[in-house]
Structure 1
Amino acid sequence: MDAFVERAAQEEWLNGVDGQADVSARCTEAISRDRSAQNFRMLSGRPCYDLLLDILAAYVRQVIPAPDRTEQSFWCVTAMPSTGCTATWQRVAAIIVNKVETLVLGESTKYEGAVYLDGFLNVVAGLRLPSSLDVETVEYRTVGVIQRIQPEAAFLEFAVHHPLVRDAACITAMRLLRKGISMMGRHHCPPLADDIFGCIRQKVRSR
């Protein structure tokens, strides 16, 4: 990680100092991207896609340092992953840092057959979180016990911006990033990442 982001910049990020927000060069790379991959087409055609992008962009912007430099090598985003599906719920997108899903979004049909977006955030155990959030303790084989935050979909983006949640998510991401290169890069969905960076640039410009 130190070869991509200087250690001093990493520490500043953990202390809440906002780094370089200009992702224009990364957005330029997307202009000629092939967007015909089946999983991406399935995801981008969903009614919830704009909301999903807002949530993913908020997470990448707030939590991952130098996301345009660490993309795919250290973290990736997946479209329509097939893991963990049930009769009433399926993943539609996930952020994976190193080998751990840190943000997962899914579609649920458990209430009268209506489709709605929900999801969860994973952060390391022992960190302070808002008492108003629904938090449970789960165990991952790769990292052990973690805290899982499960707000309603409408509040996922808000949760990422909450100082306590952001701090917990940043600490979690940094610990995972410092473990080294991810082996999950082959699952990365570049056109979905293109849209995430495009959403980030739009939000930065509108400030």
Structure 2
Amino acid sequence: MKNRLPAVSGPELHLISPEGISLADWLRLSLAVLPYVDYFHLRNRQLTAKALLEAVNQMQQAGIPIESIVINDRLDVALASEAGGVQLAGHSLPVAAARPLVSEMRIGCSIHSPEEAVDAASEGADYCLFGHVYESTSKPDLLPRGLDILEVTASRCPVPVIALGGIHPGNAGAVIRRGAGGIAILSGISSAADPAAQAEAYRAAIQTAWLERR
């Protein structure tokens, strides 16, 4: 069994798979941005556990390190594949129930408030995914939570808070300067004309802000 993975020593860049993307396109995207991305979230609610496991196997065979692969929601697939992490949402198994089962795996928890972040960390989450920070096309009917709430959440949460929602290279630095431990991106990279160049721009923005914050 692998040792439990520590957080990246610097700002983390997470890439979340878009809904409906084919496995072939996801593999091409992941390989293109591999030099700049820390974690690849495999999220597809339509796939069976068997299909998700096969997708993980193909990612690994293509050259994506298994420790960089995060499985959304499906703890069984994360365990079977020995993935680097599992991302739990509100409908998922609670962190407190998952933690004893995955002591050697990184657990992320989706949260929307400082209180939820504190609770998730106390139950054993290794990081919290917070959003959405800015206006987001994926959630057009919901108001963004904004930088002020992000800052409060990050200041109260003892584990890294990874921000998502409406983040682009031009505002990514502000997110880090407000205390986020990293960012998670979906369409900002996957829909870019040059995903690798876009991922590099995100990496440069958050790294610069991280050094300024230190």
Per the normalisation by structure 2, the TM-score is: 0.23
Higher relative contact order (CA 8 A, sep 6+): 1
Per the normalisation by structure 1, the TM-score is: 0.24
**Structure holding more strand per residue:** 1
**Structure holding more helix per residue:** 2
